[in-house]
Structure 1
Amino acid sequence: MLKVIEVLAESDKSWEDAASHAVIQAAKRVHGIKSIYIRDREPKVENNKSSKYRIYANISFLLD
């Protein structure tokens, strides 16, 4: 059986880095992560350029 949690993560580098950060942080609390589904992306803009890459995602994992 799988469970899905919603997460918010951000990075100064890229969308991919934000997704990686989300999985790394979730893995500290849950085990058996199977997938990440990025539902939405939101850039933070400062001084007319993207300064943060924020994602809203669902992470699915196996229940023990």
Structure 2
Amino acid sequence: MNDHVYKQIELTGSSTISSDDAIRTAIERASKTLRNLHWFQVTEIRGQIENGNVAHWQVRLKVDMRLED
């Protein structure tokens, strides 16, 4: 088994549906232009309130990409 090295980037995903959807949005979009995405960690969750309801979710993620050999 090879030892792996990872590069970490930060992404912010947003959604009007849920925090989970904001995570998926960020990862799916990043995976269109970045390779070897392997891990993520949620570092911040924020939301916008309108008329007493959550109107928008925003989630900040740290995402690790495995560097190619």
Bin for the TM-score computed over the shorter chain: over 0.9
Query: Counterparts of 2:48 and 2:26 in 1: how far apart (Å)?
Result: 17
| Amino acid in structure 2 at the alignment position of 1:41 | I
Query: Counterparts of 1:20 and 1:62 in 2: how far apart (Å)?
Result: 19
| Amino acid in structure 2 at the alignment position of 1:23 | I
5+ residue gaps, structure 2, are none
What is the TM-score of this pair, normalised by structure 1?
A: 0.92
Query: Which runs of at least 4 in structure 1 moved beyond 2 Å after TM superposition?
Result: none
State whether structure 2 residue 57 is matched by structure 1 residue 28.
Answer: no
Report what 2:9 is aligned to: 5
What is the TM-score of this pair, normalised by structure 2?
A: 0.86
Bigger radius of gyration: 2
- 1:43 corresponds to which of 33, 44, 47: 47
Q: Percent identity?
A: 20
Q: CA deviation at 1:34?
A: 0.5
State whether structure 2 residue 61 is matched by structure 1 residue 60.
Answer: no
Q: CA deviation at 1:35?
A: 1.0
Q: Residues 31-62 of structure 1: CA distance to partner in whole angstroms, max 9, x if unpaired?
A: 11111100010011111110011101101111
Higher strand share: 1
CA RMSD of aligned residues (A): 0.8
